[in-house]
Amino acid sequence: MIDRRALLSLAAIGLSGCGFELRRAPELRFKTLQLAGFKAHSPLADELRRSIAASTTTRVVEAASQAEVVLEALTDLRDKGVVTSTTAGQVREVQLRSKLNFRVRTPMGKELIAATEIATSRDMTYNERDALAKEQEEELLYRAMQSDIASQVLRRLAAIQTL
């Protein structure tokens, strides 16, 4: 019988040779960034702040005069629509949508990323009996979508070559 430690050691050796590495925040090529155009207390703006804070190279500033780059939200929307309903008019499935339309520029106005839209959606079954649980599920799905959007924005920011 193989010892548990020996098995773990073999697994670690196997993974170390395959190039496996945990995903980490992309390294951004600028030191300061301003988030502009977001609504007050926007969950997506908060997620972007957290994601950028995980980067060791960049910090979020409040004033455009302090920023090397400005990420300007043109639209930041959450939406919900009915996908299916019964013949009695009861909702059975809804679609949750989250959309960010943004552009990236320097404080002087030089466009680094043209207006870009990132949209995500999730379908969710619905039952009136489980309304409270479905409300919590909806919030979890919105959080997952905003994390997805934030990571996509960070990858685009990391692709910026020159200021």
Chain segment 69-112, per-residue pLDDT in tens: 999 999 999 999 999 988 888 899 999 999 999 999 999 999 99
Give the dihedral of Cα atoms 144, 146, 150, 155; nearest 10 deg.
60
Residue 26 lies in a domain: yes
Helix (H, G, I), strand (E, B) or coil at 156: helix
Chain segment 108-149, per-residue pLDDT in tens: 999 999 999 999 999 999 988 888 899 999 999 999 999 999
8 A C-beta contact, residue 57 and residue 31: yes
Chain segment 12-21, per-residue pLDDT in tens: 666 666 665 5
Residue 76 lies in a domain: yes
Residue 163 lies in a domain: no
Question: 27 vs 6, 23, 30, 161, CA distance in Å?
Answer: 36, 12, 9, 12
Q: Model pTM greater than 0.85?
A: no
The DSSP output letter for 65 is: G
Residue 49 belongs to domain spanning: 4-158
Q: What is the CATH number of the domain that holds 30?
A: 3.30.160.150
Residue 111 lies in a domain: yes
How many domains are contained in the chain?
A: 1
